[in-house]
Each structure stands twice: as structure tokens, then as C-alpha cells.
Amino acid sequence: MNVNIETRLFRWALPALFLVLATTATAVQAGKTLSGDEIRTLISGKTVYVTQYGNGSRWRAYFSADGSASLSDSFKQEAWHIDEQGQHCTTGFPLPCAPIQDNGDGTYYRSKSDGSIASVWTKIVDGKDF
């Protein structure tokens, strides 16, 4: 039986491509979880640009050094703190407490208790930016 080169290449390349994609997807999920002190330093006195993971909605959140917080689409004043497990906690936001993962590319994941991604912090800037 004479198997042509395209068939041999396809039989080798498809599993290799699957392996690369699976490894890449795992690496994206495996960011470094920040400590409470790292989170505090990262966001205190800064505006975080947020994208909701499931539906793509976007907003900005300002986390002041005194523990107050505000959302770009709300007049309501909220609050934030770091809990004893080192999680970022908020009042008035969807998902009250969550770990923060550093993706190594300037973005951060805020994760649900099952480990799935709730939102992505896409940009962080000094001061209140709204």
C-alpha cells in the first residue's frame, strides 16, 4: 500500500497540533495566583478595566486606598478589601471574593470558586479614570 506524503503529514500533524493547542490552553489557565499584598499593591488607588468573561460586557472599577470602590456605570459607592485567604473582595460587585491570577502579559483573571474565569482585568491605570 502506497500512502502519499499528504496522508502521512496529516496523520502526524493533526495530533501534534492538538497537543500544542491543549498545552497552550492549559498555560493560559495556569497563571500565578497573587497574594493579598500583591493585589493591594496592584490596584490600590487605580482604575481597573474589566471585561466580563461570559458575556463580554465591559466597565471600569476604581479601588481607592481607603477601601472604597466605584464602578464607571454606577453612582453607587462600593467597598473592597483583601480577605484572610488573600482574595480580592468587593461589595456590590458580582462575585464577592475571588483570587486574582497574573497572566504574565499585563492581564489578570478574577476567578470563580470552581476555578473558571469570571472576568479579565485588561488594563490598570493610576488614579480614577472615569
Domain segments of the chain: what residues? 1-30, 32-126
Say which residue the cell 493585589 belongs to: 39
Task: Report which secondary-structure segment, H or E, holds 29.
Answer: helix 5-29
Number of CB atoms found within 10 A of residue 58's CB: 14
Strand order in the sheet with 32-33: 32-33, 100-102, 108-111, 117-126, 46-52, 58-63, 68-71, 77-82, 88-91, 97-98
Mean pLDDT of all residues belonging to the chain: 83
CATH class, domain 32-126, is mainly beta
pLDDT in tens, 107-124: 999 999 899 999 999 999
Measure the CA–CA gap between 103 and 125, rounded to whole angstroms. Answer: 17
Measure the CA–CA gap between 19 and 81, rounded to whole angstroms. Answer: 40
| Confidence band for 20, pLDDT divided at 50, 70 and 90 | very low
Q: Which three cell numbers stand for residue 45?
A: 488607588
Q: What is the pTM of this model?
A: 0.75
* Bridge partner residues of 109 (DSSP): 101, 120
